[in-house]
Structure 1
Amino acid sequence: MNAQPLNGPDAPRGCPVAHGGDRTRLFGPEASTDPYGIYERLRKEHGSVAPVLLEGDVPAWLVLGYRDNRRVLDNPRQFSRDARIWRDWREGRVSETHPLIPMVGWRPDCVSQDGEPHRRLRGAVTDGLLAASSRGVRRHATYFANKQIDAFADAGRADLVADYAEHLPMLVLTRILGLPTAEGARLVESCAEVFKGGEGALEHNERIMQILSELAERKRTEPGADFATALLEHPAGLDHDEVVSHLRLVLIAAHTTTSNLLARVLQLVLSDAGRLSGLVSGQLNISSVVEEVMWDTPPLAVLPGRFAATDLELGGHHIQEGELLVLGLAAGNLDPEVRPDAGVAVQGNQSHLAFSAGPHECPGQNIGQSIIEIGVDVLLHRLPGLRLAVPSEELSSTASTWESRLDSLPVEFSV
């Protein structure tokens, strides 16, 4: 990654740098291996908001400060979620085929809109997820956790990323959404590629949309006790595109964040004998471990995106109307102004940014937490003597602009 100024010397803070100036790329070799190092360097150089470049050298502002993140997330009138006001897209510098579009572009779903359109659509999503969660998410998670473990229980070793964390959330989600279980493997790959970006992002996004469009059509004639049917039958009267877009939203957001979070929780537990024994004995509650991971390594490190609804000041910088902002959830959680002792575990404090905040806060967080709690509990009680197969310091991660994922989690256990 080239973190040097793209045009001339460092610009002073507050200097407009919308299409040039001192911008750091949030993609490339360094960004994939040391995103937290980049966040801290940007914080030192620019303060709580920093000018950056996204894939394809698309300019954006990365919000690093906890309080500035909350200001953006809590104020949709100033910071809109509607990408139709995005200046670089409106003026033709970002095309509809750009790899960022699946993550940043406008769609007919609740996260792309504000005000009454947002309330109408979010109400349908919230009601549908509530109905789905009441129909046995924990039962589905228990069934699929055992089924995944059955595949490697006799081997005495496994990779808990590739063999477990990547698949368990998707298997539960296929049941919740009303999809055939067999679609899960294809969707795991496509969700990962959308988040990774690059040339394959659009193709995999289209694959997801095709699968979900077929699901919506099928559920019109074959309704069931699932999220797809709940959207189709909701009094808000969602049309086909709205139904498919919300199926996509829940699928991608829930799978990617839950699989990442599950892997990180398992990493933390297996790297600390005290936590592991506490969970096995019942003296430690898994929710406290999940909370710790939410603060230190949230599953979504950077949240796309908000758009300045007017010219304004943020973090000492002048943000122009229509400019793109991306929310540094990981950086905000480690902001020294609110967490001066970032190395100290946070206990009993759920004010982290991991689920976003404000009117667009994640509506399905309870489902994800249920999957993780069951996934960890079943694993620890099914596999006696579970332990890391390599020293914890050898575990590695690979990051994209939006997330940092554990590459593998090799373990051994008694048979």
Structure 2
Amino acid sequence: MNAQPSDSPHLDVPNRSGGCPVRHGAATTRLYAAESTVDPYGTYSRLRKQYGPVAPVLLEGDVPAWLVLGYRENRRVLDNPSQFSRDSRIWGDWREGRIPDTSPLIPMLGWRPDCLSQDGDAHQRLRRAVTDSMETVANRGIRRHVVHFAHRQIDDFVHTGRADLVLQYAEYLPMLVLTRLFGLPETDGKHLAASCAQVMKGGEDALVHNERIGRVLADLTSHKRAEPGPDFATGLIQHPAGLDDDEVQNHLRLVLIAAHTTTSNLLARVLQSILSNSSSLADLVSGQLTTAAIVEDMMWNSAPLSVLPGRFATADCELGGQRLKAGDLLILGLAAGNLDPEIRPHTGTGVSGNHAHLAFSSGPHACPGQAVGQAIIETAVEVLIQRLPELRLTVDPAELTDTSSTWETRLDHLPVSFTP
């Protein structure tokens, strides 16, 4: 891509609050700015009141996009790839030279030879390779790897009587499990976790860390072609779909970033929920409450990926009262959609047994690794509670803080104490 930046396009869209046109290129809400990332849910609420279920926003570099806030609108976009494609080659701003190669949006939105970037037959061929290879690895036993690394992580701090369960447990445990599933050296785990976090955060370093991930996975692909093993990388290489090296590497990247980001984030939130309510921990220890029920609640109320990039309108259309042009970029507000007052007027009510949340996306591009992620989280929680049943927060739950980017909101710390 040799695109050069220029002025953003101006698209006339209706303003729900007054009926007069708003110029999309003049949208003032920058999702990457401090005022938006400090209180993302407040930003979603304000945009919903001003524009309704679909709002014009700006991404890094002041790139215009439509943020989909409504639950029904999110489902319409996710479930209809013929109308809202994941193929960024139709993205108007990129096609017309307004997005430079150096944009931090490229790692998240740029086209790649993977199943996420394509629709139709090409998507089905590549996704089948991913799901088959993942199923094979899962059938060999994920929980034993989680148990192994969970005990290893706990052993590092169990003698101290204090720990930060974000930095010393949730942040790296999923990546350590993924390195084993991928056939990577365990020593790559922490470096890859840091690089995945930086790609999600965006900013100037996103491209550098994206390239680092690419080099590691290129080396892995070369190694596994020469020396196959019982791992996910070998599964992709040997699949009947006949993936070439570029396709293998990009699918390894896709799964690595998505699986680590969502699983580590969700694990931290589940632990936060358990430890912020003493009765939850007691019920877990006694068996009256299951980790699966808490995970389900978190997927509704604290989606691990707040905003999903992205979809592109294949033709002029209307969505949520806004007029979209062919090639417009849409980003999916999964967290906002899950809390849409149109479907959840009372967000404090329980959602037990309702699996219709947007946390893992929806439609043909829904996350293929949901079962793997949940297995990692549930096992990690079970091992931790078994080892340290007297865990307790050392701060008031209201004092816990988050750091947000355009795409996610992560818990900063989870300080706990226990009997050494």
Do both proteins adopt the same fold according to a TM-score greater than 0.5, normalized to the shorter chain?
A: yes
Map 1:186-197 → 2, pairs under 5 A = 186-197=191-202
Aligned-partner Cα distance in 1 for 2:208–2:358: 31
Structure 1 residue aligned with 2:230? 225
Picking from 133, 151, 155, the partner of 1:128 is: 133
Structure 2 residue aligned with 1:323? 328
Aligned-partner Cα distance in 2 for 1:164–1:173: 14
Q: CA deviation at 1:344?
A: 1.7
User: Aligned pair 1:93/2:86, yes or no?
Assistant: no
Kept in 1: contact 2:14–2:321 (CA 8 A): no
Aligned-partner Cα distance in 2 for 1:299–1:231: 26
Kept in 1: contact 2:15–2:21 (CA 8 A): no
Aligned-partner Cα distance in 1 for 2:20–2:200: 31
Aligned-partner Cα distance in 2 for 1:88–1:287: 42
Aligned-partner Cα distance in 1 for 2:273–2:57: 31
Structure 1 residue aligned with 2:5? none
Q: CA deviation at 1:384?
A: 3.3
Q: What's the TM-score, normalizing by structure 1?
A: 0.96
Aligned-partner Cα distance in 2 for 1:85–1:12: 26
Aligned-partner Cα distance in 1 for 2:102–2:372: 33
Aligned-partner Cα distance in 2 for 1:409–1:22: 36
Map 1:7-26 → 2, pairs under 5 A = 12-13=15-16, 19-26=24-31
Aligned-partner Cα distance in 1 for 2:59–2:27: 13
Aligned residues: 407
For residue 42 of structure 1, what is the amino acid of its counterpart? L
Structure 1 residue aligned with 2:4? none
For residue 336 of structure 1, what is the amino acid of its counterpart? P
Aligned-partner Cα distance in 1 for 2:250–2:21: 35
Q: CA deviation at 1:18?
A: 6.2
Kept in 1: contact 2:285–2:389 (CA 8 A): no
Map 1:389-400 → 2, pairs under 5 A = 389-400=394-405
User: Aligned pair 1:69/2:74, yes or no?
Assistant: yes
For residue 237 of structure 2, what is the amino acid of its counterpart? L
For residue 388 of structure 1, what is the amino acid of its counterpart? L
Kept in 2: contact 1:11–1:21 (CA 8 A): no
Structure 1 residue aligned with 2:416? 411
Partner of 2:26, secondary structure, is coil
Q: CA deviation at 1:352?
A: 0.2
Aligned-partner Cα distance in 2 for 1:215–1:137: 20
Map 1:298-377 → 2, pairs under 5 A = 298-377=303-382
Q: CA deviation at 1:20?
A: 2.0
Q: CA deviation at 1:97?
A: 1.7
Kept in 2: contact 1:11–1:22 (CA 8 A): no
Aligned-partner Cα distance in 1 for 2:87–2:25: 24
Structure 1 residue aligned with 2:112? 107
Structure 2 residue aligned with 1:152? 157
Q: 1:15 to 1:256 in 2, by over 3 A?
A: farther
Map 1:202-351 → 2, pairs under 5 A = 202-351=207-356
Partner of 1:25, secondary structure, is coil
Partner of 1:390, secondary structure, is coil
Q: Deviations over 1:83-140 (max 9, x none)?
A: 0000000011101221000001111000000000000000000001001111110110
Picking from 23, 28, 35, the partner of 1:30 is: 35
Structure 2's unaligned 5+ residue stretches are: 1-9
Q: Deviations over 1:163-194 (max 9, x none)?
A: 00001100000011110000001101100000
Q: CA deviation at 1:70?
A: 0.2
Aligned-partner Cα distance in 2 for 1:107–1:388: 43
Picking from 45, 51, 55, the partner of 1:50 is: 55
Structure 1's unaligned 5+ residue stretches are: 1-6
Q: CA deviation at 1:31?
A: 2.0
Aligned-partner Cα distance in 2 for 1:130–1:56: 39
User: Aligned pair 1:382/2:391, yes or no?
Assistant: no
CA RMSD between the two structures:
1.3
Aligned-partner Cα distance in 2 for 1:16–1:248: 41
Aligned-partner Cα distance in 1 for 2:89–2:106: 12
Aligned-partner Cα distance in 1 for 2:153–2:101: 39
Structure 2 residue aligned with 1:3? none
Kept in 2: contact 1:16–1:319 (CA 8 A): no
Kept in 2: contact 1:83–1:307 (CA 8 A): yes
For residue 85 of structure 2, what is the amino acid of its counterpart? S
Aligned-partner Cα distance in 2 for 1:17–1:358: 31
Partner of 1:303, secondary structure, is strand
Kept in 1: contact 2:27–2:58 (CA 8 A): no
Aligned-partner Cα distance in 1 for 2:67–2:150: 37
For residue 291 of structure 2, what is the amino acid of its counterpart? I
Kept in 1: contact 2:27–2:56 (CA 8 A): yes
The sequence identity of aligned pairs, in percent, is: 65
For residue 347 of structure 1, what is the amino acid of its counterpart? S
Aligned-partner Cα distance in 2 for 1:244–1:278: 43
Q: 1:110 to 1:403 in 2, by over 3 A?
A: same
Q: CA deviation at 1:345?
A: 2.4
For residue 261 of structure 1, what is the amino acid of its counterpart? L
Q: Deviations over 1:323-346 (max 9, x none)?
A: 100000000000011101112221
Kept in 2: contact 1:384–1:414 (CA 8 A): no
Q: CA deviation at 1:141?
A: 0.4
Structure 1 stretch displaced more, 13-22 or 155-164: 13-22
Q: CA deviation at 1:214?
A: 0.2
Kept in 2: contact 1:18–1:59 (CA 8 A): no
Q: 1:12 to 1:172 in 2, by over 3 A?
A: same
Aligned-partner Cα distance in 2 for 1:82–1:21: 25
For residue 12 of structure 1, what is the amino acid of its counterpart? N
Q: Deviations over 1:314-367 (max 9, x none)?
A: 000000000100000000000011101112221110100000000000000100
